A and B are shown apart, each in its own frame.
Chain A
Amino acid sequence: MFDFYITALILGLCLSAMATGIFISMKIFHIPDITTDGSYTLGAVVTAICITKGWHPLVALPVVMLIGAFAGTITGLIHTKLKIDALLSGILVMTALYSINLTLLGRSNVPLLNVKTIFNSFSFFINENYQQLFIILILVLMIVFSIAYILKTDFGLSMRAVGDSPSMTKALGINNDAMKITGLAIANSLTATSGYLVAQYQNYTDINMGIGIVITGLGSVLIADTIIARFSIQNVILQLAIVAMGCIIFQQVLAFALTLGIDPKLLKLITAVFVLSIVSLTRLSSLRK
């Protein structure tokens, strides 16, 4: 029983990289980036290819991040240069990525047993749960701190301002299109990192593992957003930490639903209803003000 929640906690931490990415695309640029479904699987696919070839997982990570960033760049280029709606650009790239992922992987499912993963390459604890938790915590902390640092730099300020006031940024010498492309690249690079982590945690890569994952990310960001607005938190590091926490809460709720004996087939339905209830609750409470 306890293990069940630990699993949900680790999974939540694995997915928090993606949630951070969604925070950038959704909250900074106001773009609901559907590319996520594709780039998450892409991250897992590239991870499977690299580590089954015997590469060290830490060498595979920058490769995964770069390829994820590339997917985001394509969405960004389609959106800004061809002036196509951001939602549609994401859907187009996500659809194309399905074929690319299947071609790269060669088949629909690759097990990652008896290979070196990020979780078994180092040994800090004998207890497997603690070992995994420790490694994932270090990685997530590194991600949260580096993204928070970037958002505080002059470059990060420009990025935040582009989503906030595009007329101002143009007048201040900022290339809005380039900023959006860079933002989507960073977001998808983080999403691919989640694919990298989850594939190694569950010991397989599956071509369908990304379906609907963007909803998980959006749900986590919305949970976080409610908390951030409720306590009017301005500190970027805290905001990102809460986004990661939102992701954990989300997974715990799903784990709780499963312990209630709900059919796993209905998990996606529950996810959708859960996200809907968060969105509608925040809407309703803001209407009442």
Chain B
Amino acid sequence: MIEIKNVSKLFNPGQLNEVKALQDINLTIMPKEFVVVIGANGSGKSTLMNIISGAEQPSSGTIFINEDDVSNLPEYKRSKWISRVFQNPLSGTAPNLSIIENFRLASLRTQSKLLSVGINDSFKKTVQDKIASLNMGLENKINQNMGTLSGGQRQALTLLMSVMDNTEVLLLDEPTAALDPKIASTILQTAEKMIHQLNLTAIFITHNLKDAHQYGNRLIRLQEGKIVNDLNAEEKGRISASDMLEWFM
């Protein structure tokens, strides 16, 4: 469960170019909720995501994950609960490490990385089985460097890596914005399946209203740093993508 209480975020406070990215946001996200966040550019979607992940510190307010106050924890400590898939497919993987080495690190997200070799045959087998589920033919390339794969392949693997270790919260920050429609839908369908099977709390930012309509069981729209719409599963089911489009007119 994520609780955001009175969170505001100012960039360049007191200067001419001051930006109120988030204004007094209050939001509670329950376990198993798959929240889709939409909003125009500059509405504060990414800032909201960064405040939750710890990449940005709020100017005021508090953030709780499962009753733990994480407001002052840096990003790498919040990874105990949170895993992320970035907008840029290159941000979530290390290009000069092999696929299997990337997965090894992902499997230790909440644990300490010790002075022992952790990649063994059974680990390789587990990873190969998981990769095979994508049907992209990557399961036989696990010793290849991540940098040799396409953006879409890397993003699909990043998604699998995000649940290699215990996860409560999955943050998807426009994960398919840079990808072609086919691989984008593979990734989102895989994400939906994972969220359902592992009972994750998920937040999904998107600019694609079709995706916003198709996925998730709660819809939030941000405008100028404020939540202007918050629809539950039933309300979300009643509106169409074109209704959503009206909001942006």
Contacts and interface: CB of A to CB of B under 8 A. Distances in A.
Interface of A: 149-150, 152-158, 160-161, 164-165, 167-176, 234
Contact of B96 (A158, A160, A176): A160
Nearest to B88: A167
Contact of A157 (B79, B82, B104, B109): B104
Given A170-B75, A172-B108, A173-B80, A234 B145 contact: yes
A181 to B, nearest CB: 14
A23 to B, nearest CB: 13
Interface residues of B, number: 38
B86 interface: yes
Contacts of A234: 98, 143, 145
Given A158-B105, A161-B105, A167 B95 contact: no
A194 to B, nearest CB: 23
Given A165-B92, A171-B84, A174-B76, 8 more contacts: A154-B118, A164-B95, A165-B91, A171-B53, A172-B108, A173-B80, A173-B108, A173-B111
Interface in B104-132: 104-106, 108-111, 113-118
A150 B76 contact: no
Contact of A165 (B76, B94, B115, B116): B94
Contact of B94 (A156, A160, A170): A160
A169 B104 CA distance: 12
B109 A173 contact: yes
Interface string B32-74: 0000000000000000000001010000000000000000001
B115 A171 contact: no
A244 B167 CA distance: 43
B108 A171 contact: no
Contact of B115 (A150, A161, A164, A168): A150
Nearest to A176: B76
B117 A154 contact: yes
B77 interface: yes
B94 A153 contact: no
B92 A168 contact: yes
B180 to A, nearest CB: 23
Nearest to A159: B113
Contacts of A164: 94-97
Contact of A170 (B79, B106, B108, B114): B79
A217 B102 CA distance: 29
B53 A153 contact: no
A37 B150 CA distance: 41
B155 interface: no
Given A172-B106, A173-B79, A167 B86 contact: yes
Nearest to B96: A164
B172 to A, nearest CB: 12
Nearest to A152: B117
B83 interface: yes
B79 A171 contact: yes
Please provide the 4 A-B residue pairs with the shortest distance between their CB atoms, ordered closest to farther: A173-B79, A164-B94, A165-B94, A154-B113
B93 interface: yes
B94 A168 contact: yes
Nearest to A161: B94
A155 B115 contact: yes
B101 interface: yes
A165 B93 contact: yes
B77 A173 contact: yes
Nearest to A232: B145
A153 B83 contact: no
5 contacts: A154-B118, A157-B104, A169-B76, A171-B83, A173-B111
A155 B95 contact: no
B118 A172 contact: no
A76 B74 CA distance: 19
A157 B96 CA distance: 11
A155 B113 contact: yes
A170 B117 CA distance: 21
B90 to A, nearest CB: 8
Contacts of B101: 157, 160-161
B76 A154 contact: no
Contact of B92 (A149, A167, A176): A167
Contacts of A165: 90-95
Interface centre among B76, B101, B118 (most CB of A within 10 A): B76
A157 B162 CA distance: 17
Interface string B201-241: 00000000000000000000000000000000000000000
Contacts of B84: 171
